[in-house]
Amino acid sequence: MMSGPSFPLQVAVRFLKEGRTQSALILIGAGVGVAVLVFLSCLITSLQNSLITQTLGSQAHIVVRPPDEVVSPVRSEQALRSVEKAAQRLTPIEQWPRVLDAVKGTPGIVATSPVVSGSGQALRGLAKRAVTVRGIVPESFDGIIDLKGRMKQGTWQVSGDGCLVGTELARELGLAVGDRTRILVDDEHSSTCRVQGIFDLGAKDVNLRWVLVPLRQAQTLFALDGGISIIEARVDDIFAATAVAADITARTGLVADSWMTLNAQLMVALQSQGSSSDMIQFFVIVAVALGISSVLVVSVVQKSKEVGILRAMGASASQIQRVFLWQGAIVGLSGSLLGTAMGLGLLGLFKMAPLTFTIETPPALIIRACVIALVTGLVAAVVPARRAAKLDPAVAIRS
């Protein structure tokens, strides 16, 4: 009958069962708190993940390019003072295979791909569209941006005189797989290529502008002669991209931009969203802690006679302390179960509404909410538990 759980745990359970209304109230309080934690963190995380996934669907984590050419005018009275940047010329990365190795060797980098990227025009019949011509090695480029999974028609392995275009460009120029289009870079450089595939990278602008051609063909078009203009890289931890980019700059002397700096506004939005959600969660936790704590303080007063009796029976002060710590832990733990159920229920309701993103419920977030609730319950119980342990048994019995 009484063997099994530890004595303080058993008394804690009995005390909670005895004060049924009170226990139900703090349980609901803790549950609502956990529900907010689960709901908010899942919602915000899902929203942010979807925004990031969308952004990174057509963007490399890190883009490495040569430094901007600095034209240094001759400092002289007679010199012409107007300085213009050379137009329409791609600056190659010097000794790029060596640089590529250096980028590959940077900690945190999981994939790299050499790219030639420049602007041009795509022509078909009388239609003409400004495009970004990107010369890629399909196999390595697929490691940077998921091409394989985003093809609407045709193949992703562009080769020979082939090219891949986005759905928007295909629509505007009336292109289908097998059709030909002319790519014009400048007066001297142009080529005709055959559409091998049509992709949808999830961003309208990219679908309209990108023309993917084999690296070699782009090198010819931009007169790079075996050179490349940028290296694109993928990192394992997307939020470490800026740090990794800085590392790459230090190693290669080239400019490395992370997706975070390229999307500074998005990052600010995500961060403020994240911190306001953290703030709300923090205050919810504080409110829950105060709620549990105050109810337990009252319960210590109510139970002081029982505490005195237990002390007279030979229960130690530390056993009494544990009785109340257990109560905090039990409330925290059962509150987290209840709260998880409520939070998931709420998310379920949200899922029924039309949303632009899918709501995920990662176990890690739920476990986090439960751990927070448990710790909150324990911390909230510390003060009441100490009070209970300090009760003078002689006085408590007579209360």
Partner 1 sequence: MSTPNATTTSNATTTTGGPQRPTDAATPVMRLRGLTKDFGEGETLARVLKGIDLEIGRHDFAALIGPSGSGKSTLLNILGLLDRPTAGLLEVNGIDASGFDDAARTTLRGQTLGFIFQFHHLLPAFSALENVLMPIRVVRPLTKADVDWGRHLLAEVGLADKEKRKPGELSGGQQQRVAIARALAPRPALILADEPTGNLDTESSAQAFALMEKAHQEYDCAFLIVTHDPRIAARCRRVVEIVDGRIQKDTGER
Binding site for partner 1 (CB under 8 A): 1-4, 7, 11, 14-15, 17-18, 305-306, 308-319, 389, 392-394, 397
Cα 339 from Cα 291, distance rounded (Å): 15
Query: Which CB, 286 or 312, lies closer to partner 1?
Result: 312
Measured from the CB of residue 326, what is the shortest distance to partner 1 in angstroms? 14
Query: Which CB, 11 or 38, lies closer to partner 1?
Result: 11
Measured from the CB of residue 332, what is the shortest distance to partner 1 in angstroms? 21
User: Which sign does the torsion angle of CA 215, 220, 222, 228 carry?
Assistant: positive
Query: Which CB, 5 or 348, lies closer to partner 1?
Result: 5
Measured from the CB of residue 321, what is the shortest distance to partner 1 in angstroms? 8
Measured from the CB of residue 320, what is the shortest distance to partner 1 in angstroms? 9
Choose among 139, 124, 138: nearest CA to 171.
124
Cα 322 from Cα 389, distance rounded (Å): 9
- Strand, coil or helix: what is 108? coil
Choose among 392, 302, 288, 312: nearest CA to 38.
288
Cα 174 from Cα 84, distance rounded (Å): 38
Query: Which CB, 18 or 139, lies closer to partner 1?
Result: 18
CB 135 within 8 A of CB 214: yes
Could you give the dihedral angle defined by the CA atoms of residues 45, 49, 55 and 57, in that order, rounded to the nearest 10 degrees? 180
200 Cβ partners below 8 Å, 6+ apart?
150, 152, 166, 167, 207
Query: Which CB, 255 or 309, lies closer to partner 1?
Result: 309
Please list, residue by residue across 131-153, b when 16 or more beta carbons sit within 10 angstroms of its beta carbon and e when fewer do: bebbbbbbebbbbbbbbeebbeb
Query: Which CB, 4 or 363, lies closer to partner 1?
Result: 4
Measured from the CB of residue 251, what is the shortest distance to partner 1 in angstroms? 57
Measured from the CB of residue 6, what is the shortest distance to partner 1 in angstroms? 9
